Amino acid sequence: MTYRIVSLLIFISISLPLQGQELINLLFRDSEFELARLELYKQYGQGDSLSDPKAIAVIAYSYQLQDNHHRAKKLYRKALRKSGELSASFIDSINTNLCYSLMELNEFASAYGIFSTRENDHILPVKKRFFILTAERPNALSDEIFNSEEIESFNEFARTLKKPNRARLLSLLIPGLGQLYAEHTVDAAQSFLVVSAGFIYSTVAYQAYKNDDVGLGLTSITIGTTALFHYANVLSGYRAAIYRNMKLKQDYLEDQNLNIPPLDLSTSL
């Protein structure tokens, strides 16, 4: 806390000639987002609250740049509740950035509900990003969003992805098989060895219980622990496919020049 106060005092002393929008722009340019938010509250705050919808949207944008998408989502929606005070173009910009955060939070249905009814230059990359990030789903691509070359490239890319539910089923049938399907060979080997060892030990413990060599408590703990390991193995297979797909999607977005940042709202005040 002391470090933040000292940093703020030093920055204010250096930037004393700067005021208002110019100071906020400089803070954003230097990635001093916490200081930018303090300045916004100082300029647009009323008591402990911030009522200006543009300032709220800019603060949401600052959180978005820090990958705090939960906070950004809440503030963007708060700004939109005051949309009567905003221009149509700025509302479009807020909705575009809100879609970015929703997709980062895997809230794809909410993002689709926003952009599907909008048509502007900013929203087109968001629509393309949505279909790429949900490529495992059987979504038909619209020729109003993608051209023929992009559709062909997308279909080829989609065939390289793994199906998470299939990975989960394979891991349920044979420990580690889902991870192997998702091309995580080390995880596959670990899951197979751990669950197999647990199964063997559980079988031995059960036979010992039938022969009255051990009690029911030890046998129950052994079988229960093995079941938990197997459940973790099934979950691991599912997640391995998801993580593999996400890495491929990010690479594909980069290749298609669609890994672009949200719209800069810091200059709109």
Q: Is residue 219 part of a domain?
A: yes
Q: Is residue 37 part of a domain?
A: no
For 1-45, write each residue's pLDDT tens digit: 555 554 554 455 444 444 568 888 889 999 999 999 988 988 888
State how far Cα 232 lies from the chain centre.
22
- The Cα-based distances of 63 to 60, 151, 174, 187 in angstroms read 5, 34, 43, 35
Global pTM value = 0.78
* Phi, psi of 117, rounded to the nearest 5 degrees: -105, 10
Q: How far apart are CA 245 and CA 151, in angstroms?
A: 18
Q: Would you give the distance in Å from CA 239 to the centre of its chain?
A: 14
Residue 36 lies in a domain: no
Q: With respect to residue 107, please indicate whether it lies within any of the assigned structural domains.
A: no
The Cα-based distances of 175 to 75, 172, 184, 223 in angstroms read 44, 6, 13, 16
DSSP 139: P
In a domain, 141, yes or no: no
For 52-109, the pLDDT digits (tens) are 999 999 999 999 999 999 999 999 999 999 888 899 999 999 999 999 999 999 999 9
Residue 269: other Cβ atoms inside 10 A: 16
**pLDDT tens digits along 213-224:** 777 888 888 889
Q: Which domain holds residue 195?
A: 164-255
Helix, strand, coil: what percent of the chain each, to 5?
70, 0, 30
Asked if residue 58 is part of any domain, the answer here is no
How many structural domains are present in the chain? Answer: 1
Q: Which two tokens stand for residue 216?
A: 């029911």
- pLDDT on residue 246: 94
The DSSP bridge partners found for residue 50 are 45
pLDDT digits (tens, 9 = 90+) for 128-166: 999 999 998 877 788 888 999 999 999 999 999 999 999
Residue 265 counted as domain residue: no
Residue 40 falls inside a structural domain: no
Helix (H) or strand (E) segment spanning residue 45: strand 45-46
